[in-house]
């Protein structure tokens, strides 16, 4: 399978890969590792009265989950998706991996970005020690078509959800474990490897001259808020909203606070 084929599906099968609601300025949501487009249901519901809100599944959640690809290729997919929905440009909202992609999309396709929303993401790479741990975790699944073992899926909840969610909304956590335990091991292997070796783009943030909102869970166990804060200084036009009692999936764990922040940003800046 060529990369062109994978990218082309976003142009030609757009309706099968997206949830597309509302009319108005387009806001396109890209999910993080292990997640899928349904993680943005609270945001689509909150925005659809005034915006065209679109969430899509990245390669790992499609039938084109392998072979190897990187964040720049995921940015090409996002450009093809804009073609598919008939929009020249959009506000790109990315969570974690989706945010890593969003920064690169803004660098590669500056004319197609109206603004960015970076949810629990960062411009720097993961520290080497963490990268090695992730690599060791997914390495055995490179050629495995069977679903991810449930214990591996369950073991990932500590990275994705905050302490408050674990204590007060365990049903949300369990529902996602159920999903993760259906993914082909190979899909998760290539998904993680798409961003594990990424370069630091901090020194290029000054090129991203559009309004940026950084949304971050105060209890994010994967990317601490302090790891996202430098982007506020480095980006020409950025602000940050912390989501209380929320972890790495802050838009899902604290939907009301996240929706307020995103909606205010969009209404005021666009």
114-141 pLDDT per residue, tens: 999 999 999 999 999 999 999 999 999 9
Does this model's pTM top 0.75?
Answer: yes
234: its two tokens: 């480095």
81: its two tokens: 């998706």
Outline where DSSP puts E strands in 141-188. Answer: none
How many residues are present in the chain?
A: 270
Cβ 120 vs Cβ 96: under 8 Å: yes
Does domain 18-124+199-269 bear CATH number 3.40.50.1820? yes
Residue 222's SS3 state is coil
Task: Report how far residue 60's alpha carbon sits from residue 157's, in angstroms, rounded to the nearest whole number.
Answer: 18
241: its two tokens: 């909203």
Write down the pLDDT at residue 94.
99
Q: Which letter does DSSP use for residue 112 in this model?
A: G
Write down the pLDDT at residue 1.
42
Task: Report how far residue 17's alpha carbon sits from residue 2's, in angstroms, rounded to the nearest whole number.
Answer: 19
Cβ-in-10-Å burial (0-12, 13-18, 19+) of 125 comes to middle
Cβ 91 vs Cβ 217: under 8 Å: no
In the sheet that 90-95 helps form, which strands lie side by side, from edge to edge?
A: 18-21, 51-56, 25-30, 90-95, 113-119, 212-217, 238-243
Write down the pLDDT at residue 259.
98
Cβ 183 vs Cβ 138: under 8 Å: no
Helices then strands, counting H and E runs in the chain, come out as: 15, 7
Q: How far is CA 30 from CA 151, 178, 202, 236, in A?
A: 26, 21, 21, 23
Low-confidence ranges of the chain (pLDDT < 50): 1-2
Write down the pLDDT at residue 3.
75
77: its two tokens: 């997919």
Write down the pLDDT at residue 4.
87
Q: What is the pLDDT of residues 215-257, one digit of tens each?
A: 999 999 999 999 999 999 999 999 999 999 999 999 999 999 9
């Amino acid at each position: 399978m060529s990369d062109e084929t994978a990218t082309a599906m976003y142009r030609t099968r757009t309706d099968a890969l997206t949830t597309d609601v509302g009319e108005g300025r387009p806001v396109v949501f890209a999910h993080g590792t292990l997640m899928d487009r349904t993680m943005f249901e609270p945001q689509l519901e909150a925005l659809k009265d005034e915006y065209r809100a679109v969430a899509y599944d990245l390669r790992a959640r499609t039938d084109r989950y392998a072979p190897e690809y990187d964040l720049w290729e995921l940015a090409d997919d996002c450009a093809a998706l804009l073609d598919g929905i008939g929009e020249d440009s959009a506000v790109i909202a990315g969570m974690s991996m989706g945010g890593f992609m969003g920064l690169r999309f803004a660098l590669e396709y500056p004319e197609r970005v109206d603004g960015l929303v970076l949810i629990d993401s960062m411009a720097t790479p993961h520290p080497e020690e963490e990268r090695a741990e992730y690599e060791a975790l997914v390495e055995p699944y490179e050629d495995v078509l069977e679903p991810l073992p449930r214990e591996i899926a369950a073991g990932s909840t500590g990275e994705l959800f905050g302490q408050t969610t674990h204590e007060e909304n365990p049903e949300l956590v369990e529902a996602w474990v159920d999903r993760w335990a259906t993914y082909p091991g190979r899909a998760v292997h290539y998904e993680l490897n798409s961003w594990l070796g990424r370069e630091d783009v901090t020194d290029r943030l000054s090129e991203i001259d559009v309004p940026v909102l950084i949304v971050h869970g105060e209890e994010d166990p994967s990317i601490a808020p302090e790891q996202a804060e430098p982007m506020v200084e480095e980006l020409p036009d950025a602000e940050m909203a912390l989501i209380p009692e929320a972890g790495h999936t802050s838009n899902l764990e604290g939907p009301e606070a996240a929706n307020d922040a995103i909606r205010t940003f969009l209404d005021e800046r666009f």
